[in-house]
A and B are shown apart, each in its own frame.
Chain A
């Protein structure tokens, strides 16, 4: 079974500071990993995805994440936070498609707070 753990339910940064949101995964097969962002009362928007190609993945809005197999991690970073980045961020894992499993298993989410 697959699972993800997000460390820190809340992360606070100042505008312009580095954003680091942590995600560790557990998977019995090579995982596909995703980061989603959710603004209040809205749906989940796909930020970026790792599907066994390049280990450093670049996404939208200046975010990127690095897949580290040795650390079973897929942390999300952004060099400089913007006020508009304040939202809930979810890390998710799914099993590769040849196993037949398609569902996403989400972490518990990290709320990013950005102060002026």
Chain B
């Protein structure tokens, strides 16, 4: 079965640079979520989109922005990167607002040096 695709899988950036993470949801899933997982921590919700509109917002820094496109893929844009942004970034998708559970991609490991 098709799964959530994230790219790139690994990304190394320097402080103050920008990064763009991409997420391709499972076909026919209309809701996309972004989570950040720091080392040894639980995933923290950043932002979600339903039918290309932002549906909920968590602890996402103002330096980050995201959007969902007409083909339902989503991009997380991160600017002025800081050392503390180093983390695993997960995208998850679900059908119909998440009642059936969210299905996670393999994650993008971002390292800021």
Could you mark each residue 73-98 of chain B with 1 if its beta carbon is under 8 Å from any beta carbon of chain A, else 0? 00000000000000000101010111
| B50 contacts partner chain A, Cβ-Cβ < 8 Å | yes
Stretch at the interface among B12-20, B61-69, B102-110: B102-110
Complex CA–CA separation, A6 to B55 (angstroms): 28
Contact pick for A36, options B4, B55, B94, B104, CB 8 Å: B104
CB-defined contacts of B104 to chain A, threshold 8 Å: 36, 43-46
B103 touches A102 (CB 8 A): no
What number of B residues sit within 8 Å (CB to CB) of A? 30
A51 touches B107 (CB 8 A): no
| B101 contacts partner chain A, Cβ-Cβ < 8 Å | yes
Contact pick for B101, options A43, A46, A96, A109, CB 8 Å: A46
Instruction: Give chain B's interface residues, CB within 8 Å of chain A.
Output: 4, 31, 33, 35, 41-45, 48, 50, 55-56, 58, 90, 92, 94, 96-107, 109
B42 touches A97 (CB 8 A): no
A102 touches B33 (CB 8 A): yes
A102 touches B100 (CB 8 A): no
Given A102-B31, A104-B102, residue A44 in contact with residue B90 (CB < 8 A):
yes
**7 pairs, CB–CB < 8 Å, chain A vs chain B:** A43-B90, A102-B97, A103-B58, A104-B98, A106-B43, A108-B41, A109-B42
CB-defined contacts of B99 to chain A, threshold 8 Å: 32, 51, 96-97
CB-defined contacts of A109 to chain B, threshold 8 Å: 42
Closest to A94 in B: B98
A102 touches B48 (CB 8 A): yes
